[in-house]
Amino acid sequence: MCKEYLKLPFPVSLEYVPYLWQQSDILVFLVDLDNYDTFSTSYLSKIELKYLERLQTSYFKKRYIVSRTVLKHIICKIANEQSASEISTYKNECGKVCVLNHNELRICISYTESLAVLAISKVDVGIDIELARKLALKSTFKNFHKKISLVDKITGETDLLKIWTLKEAYSKFSNKKMHLVFNKELDLNSVNYSTYVLDNKYLISIVTSQGSYVTIINRLQKIECDWD
């Protein structure tokens, strides 16, 4: 299975986002959640606050608040909105993140450890990131298929982890429930897909519809806004 090794450059500023958007079809930003020690819900809409109440731990609450707040600031730059606080996100019945009144934007979010990955795209996209480690399959996915419709031969734990990320990314791309994808053989013949190794530490897979698209992956500088 083909993979590309990437050494990420220095983080880019929020002000650089409009230029990147002009140059790409898919923007992917890595956001270090540890950069944000204090945070508030001031940028969350009523819909988002209601969802936040369902989260049980401070870890999940923090990553939700930070990821949505950062995402809104990115969208504000891309869509030329006046205020990030006026942007609202919601999840559909399959868990896909959508932006209210911005159907032209395709959003996908993934997390691993203290890292959030935000994809903002002009085309349908699915993304997943995992720490490069041995894959411990949960009993929930005991029927997880190793087989995949690819030309390349699959060998070893690393390749199994790549299949895992591809299945996660595909389920988000296709707007299907996770278990419907994980328990079946995955056929990627009708889509574009890529797997990257970031800084020899993370595996990230991206799935889009077929076509020739420009994908830009970057780290994002800490956004300076009112987090208190």
Instruction: State the pLDDT at residue 136.
Output: 53
Residue of 200, 215, 204, 197 whose CA lies nearest to 109: 204
Instruction: State the pLDDT at residue 10.
Output: 85
Tokens matching residue 105? 């934007």
Residue of 105, 122, 74 whose CA lies nearest to 225: 74
Q: Which domains does the chain have, with CATH numbers?
A: 4-219 (3.90.470.20)
Instruction: State the pLDDT at residue 17.
Output: 97
Structure pTM? 0.87
* CA distance linking residue 34 with residue 63, whole number of Å: 10
Tell the residue number behind the tokens 């990115």, with chain if given: 74
Instruction: State the pLDDT at residue 180.
Output: 67
Q: What is the pLDDT along the chain (228 residues), one digit of tens a residue?
A: 456 888 877 899 999 999 999 999 999 999 999 999 867 899 999 999 999 999 999 999 999 999 999 999 999 999 999 899 999 999 988 889 999 999 999 999 999 999 999 999 999 999 999 998 755 544 444 445 554 444 344 445 567 888 889 999 999 999 877 766 777 777 888 999 999 999 888 999 999 999 999 999 999 999 987 655
Per DSSP, the residues of 115-155 read EEEEEEESS-EEEEEEESS-----GGGTT----EE-SSPP-
